Amino acid sequence: MNYKIHLEKFEGPLDLLLYLIRKNDIDIKDIPIAIITDQYMQYIEMMKLLDLDVVGDFLVMAASLMQIKSRMLLPPDPLAGPEEVDPRQELVDRLREYEQFKMIAEGLKSKELYRQTLFGRLIDQEKLNEIKDDAQEVFIEATLFDLINALSEALKHIPEKKDYQVSQEEFTIEGKIHALLHLLIENPRISVMDLFRRSTTKEEVVCTFVAILELTRLKEIVIVQHRQFEDIEIMRNTANETPAT
């Protein structure tokens, strides 16, 4: 597909490292560099497959990880003192500092969201009932890495084609976007993995993935999950809908 994805908002290299650390339940002070580097490179390969315009931002970190990995494989320097610096220390310090900033930012965001739930005493009772109904379920916004992880899992279960006949392209990004919006009219929430399971080829899976990213970029949908690393769902972005007059 000749369709380059431009994302206005995306997670960076440090976000991916923190995502992998949490996903693998790893102590940030004792990162298994070989494992994390291999997984990090797998995500970069997926980004290259999708032709994401953010890949270049991740390559510098990939080089740093490879350098640390190489230094970890070398035998200890006999001339170095007993207090030889761990090759991972600088990266650990960056990650811990970045994690603190993210926690502060998330705390401020949660306060902002809480403030939006406060209303004056003259609130309309019908509106109050709608708010109570919406508050029954709590979601968090899924990340780009959650989506890439789901895509990677889906591609593993698509069988390879047995023939090599040239055929007309069956799927388009525009067609998938239209299909997704139509499905969301019938269903308030749709599982991303269910969408991938309906696909019969890797091309259709990737096409569906790109359509989800495009609708997210256009703020037509939001991608959510109840908890991180759980099933991802897409929903219409009600905040983007024009209120009826």
The Cα-based distances of 136 to 30, 129, 139 in angstroms read: 39, 11, 10
Share of the chain above pLDDT 70, in %: 75
pLDDT of residue 1: 47
Lowest mean pLDDT segment, chosen from 28-32, 76-80, 156-160, 213-217: 76-80
Please check whether residue 13 is in contact with residue 52, taking contact to mean a CB–CB distance below 8 angstroms.
Answer: no
128 CB-near residues (< 8 Å, 6+ apart): 119
Strands (E), 38-83: none
Domain boundaries defined on the chain: 1-75+85-126, 137-161+169-245
Task: Indicate if the pLDDT at residue 85 is higher than 60.
Answer: yes
Over residues 50-64, the mean pLDDT reads 82
Q: Which CATH superfamily groups domain 137-161+169-245?
A: Structural maintenance of chromosome 1. Chain E (1.10.10.580)
Query: Per-residue b/e over 229-245, b at no fewer than 16 CB within 10 Å?
Result: eeebbbebeeeeeeeee
Task: Indicate if the pLDDT at residue 177 is higher than 50.
Answer: yes
31 CB-near residues (< 8 Å, 6+ apart): 21, 88, 91, 92
Please check whether residue 30 is in contact with residue 96, taking contact to mean a CB–CB distance below 8 angstroms.
Answer: no
pLDDT by residue (tens digit) across 92-137? 999 999 999 888 887 887 776 666 655 544 445 555 455 455 555 6
